[in-house]
Structure 1
Amino acid sequence: MPTISTTVTTADGTCPVTLHTPNGSGPWTGVVMYVDAGGVRDLFQDMAARLAGFGHAVLLPDVYYRHGEWEPFDMKTVFNDPKDRARLFRMIGSITPDMMAADAEAFFDFLAARPEVKGDAFGVCGYCMGGRTSIIVAGRVPDRVAAAGSFHASGLVTDEPTSPHLLADRIKATVYVAGAANDQGFTPRHAEILDQALTDANVTHTVEFYPAGHGFAVPDNAPYDPEAAERHWVALQGLFKTALPN
């Protein structure tokens, strides 16, 4: 699949991105893929390319760009290394909902200006913290998001005033949420609350659980589950096929 490496200018600086497109002339519907806590790495380039193969122009941004040249995480060891674990959580916590929304506006502007991309409403999808970002962006930038997919995300329902579920009445996108089994960051009770909020807001949505652990869709996560990962690809393909404008 063709890949372009470039940058997007945001309110806070310059964000490195790659744009993955199908073979052919296009144009295609645009999607932003949000990474998990480990940040952009080779396997996410592969995942973005696979999503592009479904017929989309997929933008993969380095969401940690405000940290400059940051040292990559090894997802197989990061949670057992106190120093690296602390660094990971500092970086996760450094990205606020306001930043997510402002960055998304810049990403969508970039996609809208590309000749490979058609339409002015986009898809978003994400994993772990990126799954939370997808729902926040759908609520904070509602006119530009037609479809949002969230996989093994935590923090979709919290007691904070910035909880993503409180954005339900602003969302215009079709929403798909797949939670992980036995995930204290997204429990069955959280799913009930999110489902009710989306239902009350008349949002077309699916909220369900996969019988796999947190991180099931990302190959270098310890709980990676090939069967659940394939199920997620089918769900994502179906979501964007039906919800993104032709």
Structure 2
Amino acid sequence: MTHETLDIKTNDGTCPAHVFAPDGTGPWPGAIIYTDILGMRPATIEFAERLASYGYVVLLPDLFYRRGPYAPIDPKPAFASGNFAEVAAPMRAAVNKQQAADDTLFYLDALTARADVKPGKIGVTGYCFGGGVAIVAAGTYPDRIGAAGAFHAGNLATDDADSPHLLLPRIDAELYVGAAEKDHSYPFEMQERFKQAADAAGVTYTHELYEGAGHGWTQTDFPIYNKEADDRHWRELIALFKRTIG
């Protein structure tokens, strides 16, 4: 497997990114990962490497580059001390879902310009904050995104003007939403609102509840990490990508 870093120019600055690719010349389908609110750190880099091992060229951008350089955040002390919100606050202030989706134009261009990326639509997948970004990006670039996964994503169907569910009528990608059973940011009533909006929009989607899993269950460096649910997430994500982008 190959690993390289690059700087992607956007309208608002320069976004550092990692790219992982299988060995060989390819071409392989392309994929983008949108991280949770704590951003780039060793666990997310390992995550991107694992996705690439399934046969994808994977772009992992730093969604929070507008904040400026920052040291990798260790989630466990933040959770243990009870000041997670304080730790995450500078990240939340750095970018919103639509800004991250707008940046995706430059991520797509960087990815599809590569000789080892197969022509055609790419897949995206997001986690927590990044799950909402994945859906908004799919609605912003329907002609370029063929699959979107959103896992333990919060606030997917709110009254806010930038709520992800409002983009559903513009989406051409197949969606997979994996909801955590224990997630105050995506309660049952909101899940139903999202599914009703997806049905009304005629979106091809799967929406599943991960019983016993909490918000953030896929992140190996989170105390809430749930291996059984994470293994299921990987099976569903790769199945989604295989039947859509190859």
The answer to whether the Cα contact below 8 Å between 2:41 and 2:73 also exists between their aligned partners in 1 is: no
Other-structure match for 1:241: 242
After superposition, the C-alpha distances for 1:193-234 in whole angstroms (9 at most, x for unaligned) are: 111111111111011110211111110111100000000000
* TM-score for the superposition, normalised by structure 1: 0.95
Change (3 A) 1:132 1:41: same
* TM-score for the superposition, normalised by structure 2: 0.95
Q: Determine what percentage of the aligned residue pairs are the same residue.
A: 41
- Distance in structure 1 (CA, Å) of the matches to 2:82 and 2:94: 18
Other-structure match for 1:221: 222
Other-structure match for 2:20: 20
Other-structure match for 1:163: 163
Structure 1 residue 189, shift from structure 2 partner? 1.5
Other-structure match for 1:105: 105
Count of aligned residue pairs for this structure pair? 245
Change (3 A) 1:221 1:83: closer
After superposition, the C-alpha distances for 1:106-134 in whole angstroms (9 at most, x for unaligned) are: 00011111111112421110111111111
- Distance in structure 2 (CA, Å) of the matches to 1:102 and 1:188: 29
After superposition, the C-alpha distances for 1:112-162 in whole angstroms (9 at most, x for unaligned) are: 111111124211101111111111111122221100000101111111121
The answer to whether the Cα contact below 8 Å between 2:38 and 2:91 also exists between their aligned partners in 1 is: no
Structure 1 residue 22, shift from structure 2 partner? 1.2
Query: What pairs up with 1:1-246 in 2 under 5 angstroms?
Result: 1-81=1-81, 85-211=85-211, 212-244=213-245, 246=246
The answer to whether the Cα contact below 8 Å between 1:180 and 1:213 also exists between their aligned partners in 2 is: yes
The answer to whether the Cα contact below 8 Å between 2:150 and 2:177 also exists between their aligned partners in 1 is: yes
The answer to whether the Cα contact below 8 Å between 2:180 and 2:215 also exists between their aligned partners in 1 is: yes
* SS of residue in 2 equivalent to 1:181: strand
Structure 1 residue 80, shift from structure 2 partner? 4.9
* SS of residue in 1 equivalent to 2:37: coil
The answer to whether the Cα contact below 8 Å between 1:10 and 1:102 also exists between their aligned partners in 2 is: no
- Distance in structure 2 (CA, Å) of the matches to 1:74 and 1:46: 14
- Distance in structure 2 (CA, Å) of the matches to 1:115 and 1:8: 17
The answer to whether the Cα contact below 8 Å between 1:92 and 1:129 also exists between their aligned partners in 2 is: no
* SS of residue in 1 equivalent to 2:239: helix
> What is the Cα-based RMSD across aligned positions, in Å?
1.5
Aligned letter for 2:184? Q
Aligned letter for 2:230? A
Aligned letter for 1:67? R
**Deviation beyond 6 Å, 4+ runs, structure 1:** none
Aligned letter for 2:224? P
* SS of residue in 2 equivalent to 1:218: coil
After superposition, the C-alpha distances for 1:31-66 in whole angstroms (9 at most, x for unaligned) are: 000111111111111111111111110000111111
* SS of residue in 2 equivalent to 1:143: coil
* SS of residue in 2 equivalent to 1:215: coil
* SS of residue in 1 equivalent to 2:157: coil
- Distance in structure 2 (CA, Å) of the matches to 1:209 and 1:83: 28
